[in-house]
A and B are shown apart, each in its own frame.
Chain A
């Protein structure tokens, strides 16, 4: 039976609820309705009283999760869309992220952000916020790109004693499938070589890993072997695996779905330039979405975000440099 990325997230939450009575789920429409994307479908019936509908109060949702975590619970918060976490921004970056450092009391909360663009979602249901949250000390930011990681990293996120921002990509929810749930996964903090190559390294996370893989297949037909690094977690970022890959290929393209000013791709380029300048045969490149809000119409949306076509074009340029 095929298991989707979304199933994996739901099954991981079910397992956590099963194994640890300090786990509970809190978010809008998560109880009987099973969540806007059905990531908690059936869980309220299986775990009575532990999957709770919240009012439309993102600040109080996260604030209360922090309070419960301080008292030893392990809350999972579902944001209906990543975009709405802006309302909870204060609680996330000022309360949760600072708590352990300030008081010595850890704050084990998992905040699930249904992230990224889908056709027709527009400016307020499409955002990729991994770079914003990675900027703050005290947060861990996970960006699973596979069904296996969606499952394994969700379990890890809940177990970790720190606040975890779990960016799950809406575009992967239904179409990404695996045969079975994984028994083991790579440790959090380790990137994965999603495809080996020797002419250029493309570093990406989440849905962009799949765009990069498709671009790599495209370029393979032209004789270029592209190595694709799946970051898995944006924070911590696995600089060593990136540098090792650049050592093999001599060329770097960092791809992110977020906005272009600063952020994850800039971080990758700056680390490689600072620590691996001698490994580079060409100037390191970045590819992001455009510096406008995310458009509604599919024609505009496809041109706004990086795609396998634009990644292919950027990779060809890089190889020619």
Chain B
């Protein structure tokens, strides 16, 4: 039975056994993300989480396929955005760090100073997104430039974004910069048909966002983002090409956001028939169906995995809830690393 515990080295699917292992492992991350986010949504509705909660429901396959096939131990980077719970954990983010950030624990990476999806451990290849969409692309570029200066070859940076985010100037600047510098960057665009309430027809006028790759002089891929095997295959190829020096890769996955923009949003603006479209499918039961069909796991084994996953989530949330909240009287209230230059603390001689 496959149970995701740590970040595994990227699996190539060159044998039936490794294909099974890769698929089942990715499914494990998807299941963990779905289970965790369901829990977070419940806590939000119960008033236990302040601010907003934004779910990656429907995007787990696309997100996990990138995160899982990058190699944190080797120096790769994964820059996740709002709908990347699956990819973040598959890359190496600890479940407990996710829980801590939603709940504001001081033990978490953001220590209550920032919350929800705005989290990361930059020194471990996980930059902490700012809200401003498009802004993280060039940050990943810079991390890759630093690695190039240090002579670290063979590293790849993965960055994700939504269809709406591709309309920003920052996204264009970042992608163009990566192309000029031939950086080993894999950009995953989750084209989930809506940016908040705005349909893609008001977001871009090209036939497919992947067509933009030509304009940047890079390779583009357009895939069904709900099909786990396709996602795994495509990101495996894109990562390999980036790693071998072919420059940035633009992977566009067609899918549907199976939730409101945030949990405050009932998403009434999404027409009912969208669910029936090919990209409207739910990747999690689809992947589970495939596993059963291929006989990679039995019904019992899947049930067992669901139960273990739920236990892990409950345990992580309980632990994060038991940890101390931030204390305003213990805060330094200084924003500088150079303490003596923070206003009000200059040593006068």
Contact = CB atoms under 8 A, between A and B. Distances in A.
9 contacts: A22-B149, A57-B138, A70-B142, A73-B142, A99-B128, A103-B122, A161-B338, A190-B346, A240-B348
Given A59-B169, A71-B147, A236-B342, A100 B335 contact: yes
B76 to A, nearest CB: 13
Task: Pick from A60, A73, A98, A100 the residue with the most CB of B within 10 Å.
Answer: A60
A68 B176 contact: no
A110 to B, nearest CB: 13
A312 interface: no
Interface stretch (B106-114, B242-250, B252-260, B321-329): B106-114
Interface stretch (A8-16, A89-97, A147-155, A284-292): A89-97
A74 B130 CA distance: 21
Interface string B66-103: 00000000000000000000000000000000000000
A57 B176 contact: yes
B77 to A, nearest CB: 9
A60 B170 contact: yes
A72 B149 CA distance: 11
A238 interface: yes
B135 interface: yes
Going nearest first, the 8 A-B pairs with the smallest beta carbon separation are A67-B142, A63-B138, A71-B146, A64-B142, A60-B173, A57-B173, A138-B335, A106-B337
Contacts of B141: 60, 63-64, 67
A298 interface: no
Task: Pick from A68, A75, A100, A190 the residue with the most CB of B within 10 Å.
Answer: A68
Contact of B335 (A66, A91, A137): A137
B214 interface: no
B177 A60 contact: yes
Contacts of B346: 189-190, 236, 238, 240
B105 to A, nearest CB: 15
Interface string B319-349: 0000000000000000111101111001010
Interface residues of B, number: 47
Contacts of A73: 142, 145-146, 149
Contacts of B297: none
Contact of A55 (B144, B177, B348): B177
A102 B139 contact: no
Contact of A60 (B109, B143, B174, B336): B174
Contacts of A29: none
A184 to B, nearest CB: 14
Tier of interface size on chain A: 35 or more
B110 A102 contact: yes
Contacts of B170: 59-60, 63, 90-91
A188 interface: yes
A39 B130 CA distance: 32
Contact of B338 (A55, A62, A162, A240): A162
A162 B139 contact: no
Nearest to A109: B142
Nearest to A237: B343
B162 interface: no
Contacts of A106: 337
B132 interface: yes
B140 interface: yes
Contacts of B176: 55, 57, 60
A178 interface: no
A108 B146 CA distance: 13
A235 B157 CA distance: 35
Nearest to B342: A236
Contacts of B121: 103
A24 interface: yes
B56 interface: no
Interface string A18-48: 0000101000000000000000000000000
Task: Pick from B120, B177, B338 the residue with the most CB of A within 10 Å.
Answer: B338
Nearest to A58: B173
